[in-house]
Amino acid sequence: NAGVMQNPRHLVRRRGQEARLRCSPMKGHSHVYWYRQLPEEGLKFMVYLQKENIIDESGMPKERFSAEFPKEGPSILRIQQVVRGDSAAYFCASSATGHGMSTEAFFGQGTRLTVV
Amino acid sequence: KQEVTQIPAALSVPEGENLVLNCSFTDSAIYNLQWFRQDPGKGLTSLLLIQSSQREQTSGRLNASLDKSSGRSTLYIAASQPGDSATYLCAVINNDMRFGAGTRLTVKP
**For B38-80, how does the pLDDT look when each residue is reduced to its tens digit (9 = 90+)?**
998 888 999 999 988 899 999 999 999 999 999 999 999 999 9
pLDDT reading at B12 higher than 70 = yes
Nearest to A108 among B34, B43, B97 (CB): B43
Say yes or no for a CB contact (<8 Å) between A107 and B45.
yes
Q: How far apart are CA A92 and CA A82, in angstroms?
A: 19
Q: How far apart are CA A3 and CA A26, in angstroms?
A: 5
In B, which residues are within 8 Å of A41 by CB distance?
101
A100 pLDDT tier (thresholds 50, 70, 90): very low
pLDDT reading at A1 higher than 70 = no
In A, which residues are within 8 Å of B102 by CB distance?
42
**Higher pLDDT pick, A22 / B40:** A22
Q: Long-range contacts made by residues B47-53, C-beta under 8 angstroms, separation at least 24?
A: B47/B75, B47/B88, B48/B75, B49/A102, B49/A104, B51/A102
**For B69-97, how does the pLDDT look when each residue is reduced to its tens digit (9 = 90+)?**
999 999 999 999 999 999 999 999 877 78
Q: What is the pLDDT of residue A28?
A: 87
Name the closest residue on chain A to residue B103, using Cα atoms. A42
Min distance B63 CA to chain A CA atoms (Å): 17
A-B interface: how many C-beta pairs under 8 angstroms?
60
